[in-house]
Amino acid sequence: MIRILFLDILKFFLTGVAVLYVSFVVMTLRNEGTRYELRLDPNDPARSLERLLVWLGVRCIGTLAALGKACLNILEDTSADVGEWVLHRRKP
């Protein structure tokens, strides 16, 4: 019983940390864009770790967005080629 309660509290805590992290990444992405600079301070390792994790999140989202855009461009070109092929085969 106590183990189940502990696991539920742990899940709740980890979900809260994940939501907080995602909100930091989204706010930073909105304010700074994908060109967010990583600034590390050896005198403040906790803040540096936070900045590093946020920077990694921003970089991942930027990379996924660029990859998605490239995939959509390929699909758009392919769709145009297929449409052209269909029109050429349709004409007698």
Q: What is the pLDDT of residues 55-75, one digit of tens each?
A: 999 999 999 999 999 999 999
pLDDT bucket at 92, cuts 50 / 70 / 90 = low
Q: What percent of the chain is modeled with pLDDT above 70?
A: 98
In whole angstroms, give the CA distance from residue 29 to residue 23: 10
Rounded to the nearest 10 degrees, the angle between the axes of helix 45-90 and helix 2-32 is 70
Please name the amino acid found at residue 22: V
pTM over 0.85: no
